[in-house]
Amino acid sequence: MMKTKASKGTIKKVLYYVGRYKIHLFISIVLAAASVAVSLYIPVLAGKAIDEIVGAGRVNFEALKPYLYQIGILAVCAGAAQWIMNTLNNKITFNVVRDIRNAAMKKIQILPLSYIDSKPAGETVSRIISDADQFADGLLMGFTQLFTGVVTILGTLGFMLSINFKITLVVVILTPISLFVARFIASRTFSMFKLQSQTRGEQTAFVEEMIGGQKVVTAFSREEDSLKEFDEINERYEKCSLKAIFFSSLTNPSTRFVNSIVYAGVGLTGALAAVSGAITVGGLSCFLSYANQYTKPFNEISGVIAELQNALACAERLFELVERQPQTPDAQNAHEFGDVDGRVEIENVAFSYSKDRELIKNLNLSVESGNRVAIVGPTGCGKTTVVNLLMRFYDVDEGKISVDGTDIAKATRKSLRKSYGMVLQDTWLKEGTVRENIAMGKPDATDEEIVAAAKAAHAHSFIKRLPQGYDTPITDEASGLSQGQKQLLCITRVMLCLPPMLILDEATSSIDTRTEIRIQKAFSTMMQGRTSFIVAHRLSTIKNADVILVMKDGNIVEQGSHDELIKKQGFYYELYNSRTEATA
């Protein structure tokens, strides 16, 4: 019952998107009706033509010619109407899929990061690409064959009733068997196609993960294990696909069998009627043609129903993404940060990614404008989580974070994030030129400003050595740049924008020691007068911080300058000595 409701709900959502193209849809239906009407009138002319040639020496060529001309003209008209109808159906289908894909992409931009973090990227890609393609195929088949099929059935019934009521009654009595068979099979294939789509998404996610991490897989000799895992997913995909295709493929031959019975019944009763003189031979020929045309749409519609079940299963997964709850929108009167001083207050903040596992609790911190705050601690203590909360990638569970006395939960995310410059350990480059990647945060930057920022970040020298310098096209995966060079480009972005507050999360982790020393000098210049949060595992890089926050199990356990914390000989002292010994 739940599956039926879900299916009906999905159909309503599909119809909502289709409804945006009402004019195209109306014209398509009119053309379908016209095409069918013309096609159905041809057998009438053919029957009359046959009556003009029945019997030896009774061929009336003069009467035959007009029928042949009319049949030829009507066939051309039917073909033209079908061509225009198919063009419109294609336009409707791909516009609908484009609209749903656009809605999915827009939703991704406003989804909370908790959703993005909890879902494999390949799963989301599979929904937007593969599921949308499958949905388009099913929808196109539905438009192309469903309309004409229904109109053909109704039209042939009308024509058959006008020729002979009793023979038409035989057709009408036997038809429900075909409908029952199609409905019975189709109702059981929806869940199979949905499982097929889910498994395909899992497979796409796994393949993308393996390709992205191929170096790690190879380094740890995990090729065989990866192949086994892929085989396991592939086998499950094969089984659910075979089930879905097998059961859906039963529909067509089953309805064909029933339709053959209908055709045989029409032929038998029609022959008896012709012998008794109730119908002419031409009329019987016309009736048999209609019986064939009447049953043919049932075969097509049964195939369409199977495809539509697949399409609806894919559409349901797409709509699950489109209708996912977005992040809490900014209030209409939300505060807009302008030129901030950089005073940051963290008051009694509690936060956890999972409700059953505490992470940060009762966190308090006061940062004056222009202070350099270093955050250190063991892995998993909450350092990067503090960064996520400062940038409002996640909202706090309790307490509040303020910038210049304004609660960031009452300010717009865009203005808050514009106030920060952020360099992470993980680099990200978009597809474009080096210049476009550097100017991402300041698209109107001049060439002089871009070059000056690159020189300050010590990236200018390697950029000039690239084939086309600043105009060299790059991507995140296939750029030909080392990890260190990518990180230098990310640092250059921040150097170009120079916002009032900075977040450096292992910003020099992939850079050689010599370049790091120069970068640290550039950072020192950049951080002058700017509130800066520095997350670092190398404790040697944060000795000059105004305040060092030592975190453990989501709490700040120690706070002070490097010299003060060393004198205390507490947790920081142990942490510092353990790192020093490890690098000795």
- Let me know whether 256 and 194 are in one domain: yes
pLDDT tens digits, one per residue of 172-181: 777 667 667 7
Q: Are residues 457 and 477 in the same domain?
A: yes
Domain-terminating residue out of 268, 300, 322: 322
Pairwise pLDDT comparison (550 vs 577), residue with the higher score? 550
User: Does 16 or 279 have the greater pLDDT score?
Assistant: 16
Kindly state whether residue 12 falls inside one of the protein's structural domains.
Answer: no
Residue 329 lies in a domain: no
Average pLDDT, the chain: 80
Looking at per-residue pLDDT, the higher value among 399 and 167 belongs to 399
The residue with tokens 């304004």 is 406
pLDDT at 2 over 50: no
pLDDT at 538 over 70: no
CB atoms within 10 A of CB 256: 16
- The pLDDT value recorded for residue 4 is 44
pLDDT, mean of residues 534-553: 76
Report the Cα–Cα distance between both ends of the chain, in Å, rounded: 67
Both 126 and 195 in a single domain?
A: yes
Residues 356, 311 share a domain: no
2 is a domain residue: no
| Rounded Cα gap, residues 159 and 258, in angstroms | 21
Long-range Cβ contact pairs of 317-320 (< 8 A, separation 24 or more): 317/127, 317/131, 317/194, 317/197, 317/198, 317/201, 318/100, 318/104, 318/127, 318/128, 318/131, 318/132, 318/135, 319/10, 319/13, 319/100, 320/127
104 within some domain: yes
Q: Which of 193-202, 239-248, 376-385, 387-396 has the highest mean pLDDT?
A: 387-396
Query: Where does a domain end: 270, 301, 322?
Result: 322
Give the angle 354-357-362 at the CA atoms, nearest 5°: 100
Same domain, 253 and 131: yes
Are both 453 and 466 inside the same structural domain?
Answer: yes
Together in a domain, 462 and 510: no
Asked whether residue 368 falls in the same domain as residue 511, the answer is yes
Average pLDDT over residues 402-419: 89
Looking at residue 1, what is its pLDDT?
A: 38
Which is higher by pLDDT, 405 or 59?
A: 405
Mean pLDDT of 335-341: 86
Q: From 294, 322, 350, give the residue that closes a domain.
A: 322
Answer yes or no: do 35 and 120 share one domain.
yes
pLDDT recorded at residue 540: 59
Same-domain check for residues 300 and 390: no
pLDDT at residue 509 in the model: 64
Average pLDDT over residues 379-383: 76
Residue 208 pLDDT: 78
For residue 4, being part of any structural domain is answered with no
215 lies in the same domain as 260: yes
Domain at 202, CATH number: 1.20.1560.10
pLDDT: is 23 or 15 the higher one? Answer: 23
Q: Produce one character per residue of 400-432: b if its CB has 16 or more CB atoms within 10 Å, e if not.
A: ebbbbebebbebbbebbbbbbbbbbbebebeee
Considering only residues 486 and 56, tell me which one the structure prediction assigns the higher pLDDT: 486
pLDDT number for residue 507: 67
- d(Cα 91, Cα 93) in Å, to the nearest integer? 6
Tell me the HSE value of 166 on the side-chain side, using a 13 A CA sphere.
Answer: 11
Tally of structural domains, the chain? 3
Task: Report if residue 13 sits inside a domain.
Answer: no
Contact between 281 and 95 (Cβ < 8 Å): no
pLDDT band at residue 5 under the 50/70/90 scheme = very low
Task: Mark whether 64 and 109 lie in a shared domain.
Answer: yes
Is 6 domain-assigned?
Answer: no
Each residue of 260-315: pLDDT tens digit? 777 777 777 777 777 777 777 677 777 777 777 776 776 666 667 767 777 887 88
Q: Is the pLDDT of residue 212 over 80?
A: no
- Considering only residues 291 and 349, tell me which one the structure prediction assigns the higher pLDDT: 349
Region 376-380 average pLDDT: 78
pLDDT of residue 7: 64
Q: How confident is the model at residue 451 (pLDDT cuts 50, 70, 90)?
A: very high
Secondary structure (H, E, C), 270-303: HHHHHHCCCCCHHHHHHHHHHHHHHHHHHHHHHH
Domain range for 467 is 420-498
pLDDT higher than threshold 60 for residue 433: yes
CATH code for position 575: 3.40.50.300
Residue 450 lies in a domain: yes
